[in-house]
Amino acid sequence: PPLYIQRYEFVIDFVKENKPKKVVDLGCNDCTLLRKLKFHKEIELLAGLDIDCAVIRAKMYELAPIPTDYLQPGDHPLTIELYQGSVTERDPRTKGFDLVTSIELIEHLQLEDVDRFTEVVFGYMAPVAAIISTPNADFNPLLPGLTGFRHYDHKFEWTKVEFQTWALKVCKEFGYVVAFTGVGQIPAQEESIGFCSQIGVFQIDRSGGDAPRLQNNVAEEHLPYRVLYNVVY
């Protein structure tokens, strides 16, 4: 299957195995991943955030319940919430999630906004787990005809070492552990290059016991994200 489908499948496999109850997809675009996730009955709250309200709106009504949602209901209602907003801003409605996904998003941010994203996701939202994917620049020479970045809107593309350096700093600063993997395999003789899309799977580090998480006390009534869609079924 195409690479973007492989990335979604990676998330879905993680969900099947880890059964998160609350999942938020950052940079959800036209909600393709959310439409796949809504069939996973353990999920109770499914949220999506994108800065571009037109792309969210394009297909968001396809998240509405379909007959089988009523004929084969889960054990609990499913709430779906879609927001317009930026991952560089803190909104209390994104705190306390079991899983945050950020698939091919960070490379669209300026580097100073990656720093904000890092603080917002790991310092403020503080999910139990996070899946972050981004292109692997080391793989680019294997892509025929590619000059420059893979997409005109990319602000950077990190090598494996650059991605891993960022990720390990995240772990140290915010108390996570990370596993590196990816999708888009390479010919065996070029294994050291890594995957076409590199993925970091972050989990809260509980090895030191359940230390109190860093909590910030900014006025929680500030809700910068705009609700575009909300359904409970």
Residues making contact with ligand SAM (CB under 6 A): 4, 7, 27, 29, 49-52, 55, 86-88, 103-105, 108-109
Alpha-carbon distances, residue 139 vs 11, 180, 201, 208 (angstroms)? 21, 15, 20, 37
| Rounded Cα gap, residues 33 and 30, in angstroms | 8
Parallel/antiparallel/unpaired status of strands 22-26 and 226-232? unpaired
- Least distance between ligand SAM and beta carbon 39 (Å): 18
Give CA–CA dist 76/102, Å, rounded.
26
Q: Are 184 and 199 in contact (CB under 8 A)?
A: no
Ranked by CB distance to ligand SAM, the top (closest) residue is 27
CB 31 to ligand SAM: min, Å: 9
> Closer CB to ligand SAM, residue 149 or residue 233?
149
Per DSSP, helices labelled H in the chain are 3-18, 32-37, 53-59, 67-71, 111-118, 160-174
Least Cβ distance, residue 75 to ligand SAM (angstroms): 29
Residue placing its CB nearer to ligand SAM in the complex, 56 or 78: 56
Nearest distance from C-beta of residue 212 to ligand SAM, angstroms:
29
Q: Tell me whether residue 7 or residue 90 sits nearer to ligand SAM (CB atom).
A: 7
Token look-up 């006025």 returns 219
- Rounded to whole angstroms, the Cα distance separating 63 from 81 reads 10
Give min distance, CB of 109 to ligand SAM, in A: 6
Of 52 and 115, the one with the shorter C-beta distance to ligand SAM is 52
Q: How far is the CB of 145 from ligand SAM (least distance, A)?
A: 20
Question: Which three-class secondary structure string do you get for 88-123?
Answer: CCCCHHHCCCCEEEEECCHHHCCHHHHHHHHHHHHH
Q: Where are the alpha helices (DSSP H) in 23-174?
A: 32-37, 53-59, 67-71, 111-118, 160-174
Give 49 or 204: the residue with its C-beta nearer to ligand SAM.
49
Closer residue to ligand SAM, CB minimum distance, 98 or 104: 104
- Of 70 and 152, CB closest to ligand SAM: 152
CB of 173 to ligand SAM, least distance (A): 21
Asked if 81 contacts 232 with a C-beta cutoff of 8 angstroms, the reply is no
